[in-house]
Amino acid sequence: MERKLFIKGIALMALAPSVFVAACSSDKKTEVGAAKTKQQTFTCPMHPQVIKNEMGTCPICGMDLVPFEKNSNDMALKVDEKRQALANITTVIIGGNTLSGTKQLNGRLTVNPEQSSYISSRIAGRIEQLYIRETGVKVNKGQPLYKLYSEQLATLQQEYLMAVAQEKQFQGDKIERQIVAAARQKLLLYGQSESQVQQLLKSQKKDPFIMFYAPENGVVAELSVTQGQYVTEGSPILRLEGYGQLWVEADVYPNEASKIKMGQKVKVVVTGWEDQPQEMVISFITPSLQSGTQLTQVRGSIPNPGNQWQPGLQVNVFLPSVNKGDVLTLPVDAVIRDGKGMHVWVKTAKDSFEPRLVKTGTENDSQVEISEGLKNGDQVVVSGAYLLYSEYILKKGKNPAEGLEIKS
């Protein structure tokens, strides 16, 4: 009997560690399960920086915290009435409308090269007097620009006076008349004006100084010489820019450029002068994209009354769009555009919203055509769509457009 009791005691002692280990394992599983339960966190839809481990309210705005739902396959987003009001979420029932208006392009005013004048030295010499010494100065046609001293010019004047004197001795001689005409023409080509040639004949004295005048009105955009400098024949002196007519260059995406035609009339509005719209004809469409961008350009010119506008001013170019009737339209801000495509938010129940992938068509400044993805009667979010988009990413951890297909 005592032996049996002894053996039973030994057996119990052998089983005790196993029971202890099993109990510990059970306790550990319970702790892991509790830890997993505690890993659920809550955040504020309006202030994602607020994160708590238990349900409550946001200390910033007082809204109820919401749990993360990153493992949920439910596409719907739940937003109660209170949060809808705070986020200014409004909806409309989509239906057939007429879409018309204009397409706005961003552009700028630039110098018209046809209005520029390059003035270079007609003859070698020294800049004796420079009357314009800085850029940005406005000059008028006929205004003195610079005085040049040239021994070569004095020689040409002397040749002309001698030719005239020789012709007087042999009046009626054809060759003498040709020599005089050639000498006179040479003076004109080297920069002498008709009045200066007449003055030379009257005074009968050569003058090595020649005055050069502005050929037209303009603004000095570039000055290449200084007073006292020697110049050779053809050396650049200055460049005048005329602002009586300016170019308008507008940026266009390639898919938009296909809808623009040469000779098309558009409206141009200079920023700050909205009360003075101008009509412009498209005269050029660049055949290639600008370096480093996905944009091309269209160009035309507009008059600049009183030179009131300067190159560099921003303008808006309005292209007339085709009128369409009985199409589904939404405000432009209702459509969210990102790398995954274009989508809108549809209200499916009192507090439930779902993303819906769409395709768009014609668009103007305020409205966009929905060609696919929606139907008559859908209740679509028109304000607050970006807040729903942000909350969806915050709660679900993914883009709303992922895995969506356009519903016919």
* CATH code, 252: 2.40.30.170
Q: Are residues 264 and 364 in the same domain?
A: no
- Inside any domain, residue 332: yes
Helix (H) or strand (E) holding 13: helix 2-38
Pick the closest to residue 301 from 218, 244, 239 (CA basis). 244
What are the two backbone dihedrals, phi and then psi, of residue 368, each rounded to the nearest 5 degrees? Answer: -135, 140
In order of 2, 9, 48, the CA distances from 5 in angstroms are 5, 6, 68
Q: Are residues 147 and 231 in the same domain?
A: yes
Which residue, 275, 294, 320, sits at the end of a domain? 320
Q: Are residues 121 and 207 in the same domain?
A: yes
- Inside any domain, residue 141: yes
- Inside any domain, residue 11: no
Q: Are residues 90 and 184 in the same domain?
A: no
- Inside any domain, residue 203: yes
- Inside any domain, residue 312: yes
Q: Are residues 275 and 312 in the same domain?
A: yes
What is the per-residue pLDDT for 231? 92
Judge whether 338 and 320 are in contact, CB under 8 Å.
no
Q: Are residues 127 and 192 in the same domain?
A: yes
Q: Are residues 311 and 351 in the same domain?
A: no
Which residue, 241, 274, 300, sits at the end of a domain? 241
What is the per-residue pLDDT for 23? 45
Q: Is 169 helix (H, G, I), strand (E, B) or coil?
A: helix
Judge whether 222 and 135 are in contact, CB under 8 Å.
yes
Which residue, 320, 339, 356, sits at the end of a domain? 320
- Inside any domain, residue 53: no
Residue 215 to residue 221: CA distance in whole angstroms: 15
Judge whether 146 and 132 are in contact, CB under 8 Å.
yes
Residue 292 to residue 11: CA distance in whole angstroms: 84
Q: Are residues 224 and 129 in the same domain?
A: yes
Q: Are residues 348 and 274 in the same domain?
A: no
Judge whether 400 and 104 are in contact, CB under 8 Å.
no
Where does residue 159 rank: exposed (0-12), middle (13-18), buried (19+ CB within 10 A)?
A: middle
Q: Are residues 128 and 233 in the same domain?
A: yes
Q: Are residues 219 and 166 in the same domain?
A: yes
Amino acid at 350: K
Pick the closest to residue 77 from 323, 311, 365, 356 (CA basis). 356
- Inside any domain, residue 41: no
Query: Rounded to two decimals, what is the model's pTM?
Result: 0.51
Residue 248 to residue 313: CA distance in whole angstroms: 10
What's the number of domains the chain is made of? 3
pLDDT in tens, the chain (408 residues): 555 555 555 555 655 555 444 444 444 444 444 444 446 777 776 676 677 888 888 888 888 887 765 555 667 888 888 888 888 999 999 988 877 767 788 999 999 988 888 889 888 899 999 999 999 899 998 899 999 998 888 888 888 888 888 888 887 788 888 888 898 888 888 878 888 888 888 888 888 888 888 888 889 989 999 999 999 988 999 999 988 899 999 998 887 777 788 999 999 999 999 889 999 999 999 888 878 777 889 999 999 988 899 999 999 998 877 677 788 999 888 999 887 788 999 999 888 999 999 988 877 778 888 988 899 999 999 999 888 888 888 777 778 877 777 775
Report how far Cα 251 is from the mean position of its chain's Cα atoms. 6
How many contiguous H segments (helices) and E segments (strands) does the chain have? 7, 27
Its domain, for residue 351, covers 72-101+323-387
Percent of the chain beyond pLDDT 70?
Answer: 87
Q: Are residues 109 and 130 in the same domain?
A: no
Q: Is 74 helix (H, G, I), strand (E, B) or coil?
A: coil
Residue 5 to residue 1: CA distance in whole angstroms: 6
Judge whether 296 and 288 are in contact, CB under 8 Å.
yes
Q: How many CA atoms lie within 13 A of 146 on its CB side?
A: 28
Count the residues in the chain: 408
Helix (H) or strand (E) holding 366: none
What is the per-residue pLDDT for 279? 92
Q: What angle do CA 156, 157, 160 make, to 5 degrees?
A: 90
- Inside any domain, residue 236: yes
Strands 218-223 and 144-149, how do they pair?
unpaired
